Amino acid sequence: MPIKRQYSYIYKIAIKQMGNKKNWHEAHVEGLSFGSRLADSVAKGMGSWRFIVVQTILVVVWMGLNVIGFSNHWDVYPFILLNLLFSTQAAYAAPIIMMSQNRQSERDRIQAQADYQTNIDAKLEIEQLTKKLNAIETDKLDKIITMLEELKK
């Protein structure tokens, strides 16, 4: 059985055993409002190379049309209108990106809490298993001692 198929099989078994409980990420995503999802998608789009390339092309075209343009210069050399557009874009982008970052830090905190809880649960289970193994070992040693004492008689 290939490793990838084996992991998906193990994952399906684990999901069946856990029931259809939602993990912390699924619960968090379902709780997001429309504005939160919009802010996340805007921040994701503005933080991409595609956005940088498209914006660079638009700026070069804007400047080129205004410098080389033969008859209609809507934004002459100091490009005041372009500067205003960039200022407006920055004024809206900064709070949207900060909202998305705040949600990301909240997600990180929730994930850290879930990881901590998992670690505590695992520690408790390991302690229980250790106690069981010690009890089994003690029982076996008692049986061996009893058998040795019977052999001496």
The pLDDT assigned to 6 comes to 52
The pLDDT assigned to 77 comes to 80
Q: Are 76 and 62 in contact (CB under 8 A)?
A: no
Q: Hey, what's the torsion of the CAs at 16, 20, 21, 25, to 10 degrees?
A: 100
pTM of the model: 0.61
The pLDDT assigned to 153 comes to 76
The pLDDT assigned to 67 comes to 84
pLDDT in tens, the chain (153 residues): 555 555 566 666 666 666 666 666 677 677 788 888 888 899 899 989 999 999 999 999 988 888 887 677 788 888 999 999 999 999 999 999 999 999 899 889 988 998 999 999 999 999 999 999 999 999 999 999 999 998 887
- The DSSP code sequence of 10-56 is HHHHHHHHH-S---HHHHHHHT--HHHHHHHHHHHHHTSHHHHHHHH
Q: Which two tokens stand for residue 133?
A: 């193994």
The pLDDT assigned to 141 comes to 93
